Chain A
Amino acid sequence: MLREAVVTEPPNQVAQHASPVNEEPRFQIFIVDGGWNSPAHKVLHENFGMLRDLTKGNPIYVLSREKSIEFILSQPSLSGKGPAIIVHDLAALREGGTGSFHGFRLHLGIMHSEEQALLALQLFARFLATHRRSVDLEAEIRRDLRREGIIGAIEIILQHEPRELGG
């Protein structure tokens, strides 16, 4: 009688830790876009695949145009800044709820050119990929923002071509 032997290899622990596929999602990502015909809207649409690949393992929720408009009307702080990408830090939400730091948002719509919008989107995707295992995300965001500010100051003082994000 022939028996079919199924050989299973022991799981590679290192590979499991390195792979984000088996991890609990750290972030929830929401895209709120009222649909303004803007450079940021174009860049987001053209690079969504890249963004999705770089944030693999974290669910992305895309609000429809109607839902986005409804949401923006109920949240005036988003008005005129869309498309916006809102990121919930699930670890912070579990720990402290919505009362303290629990994520961040990128207002891509305030970028006036495609080049600026693309740069902001790339920085954002890199940040998410880099910090998905961060213990203190808030401190890291603040440190990164401070560093950007210092680099900007040095560029001004040295009169280098500023790589300005804000336009």
Chain B
Amino acid sequence: MPERWSDYLAIFMSALAVGYVVFEIDRRRRKLHDLIDVLGGEDAKLTEGLVSMVESGELRPYTGATLD
């Protein structure tokens, strides 16, 4: 057991530092997954919506050099 209050303070500060790193890594991981997400089974409707627009001719490959 720590005997001095400064030991308790050091342990507390170390725990805070570790907690901050864990929190920050998790926050970045979530942000990255918000930014880039894989399409899986739960996105079937989204994909089918786009595919049907292509198959029906509603959407055609864009040939313009710039976006209007």
Q: Which residues of A contact B (CB under 8 A)?
A: 28, 30-31, 44-45, 48-49, 52, 59-63, 67, 71, 74-75, 77-78, 81, 86-88, 93, 98-107, 110-111, 120, 124, 138, 141-142, 145, 148-149, 152-153, 156-157, 164-167
Contact = CB atoms under 8 A, between A and B. Distances in A.
A52 B61 CA distance: 11
A75 B51 contact: no
Interface residues of B, number: 38
B35 to A, nearest CB: 6
Nearest to A45: B67
A107 B55 CA distance: 25
Contacts, number: 130
Contacts of B32: 145, 148-149, 152, 165-166
A104 B38 contact: yes
B25 A153 contact: yes
Most A CB contacts (10 A, CB to CB) among B28, B58, B66 go to: B28
Contacts of A156: 21, 24-25, 28
A45 B35 contact: no
A104 B66 contact: no
A19 to B, nearest CB: 19
Interface string B5-32: 0000000000000000100110111111
B41 interface: yes
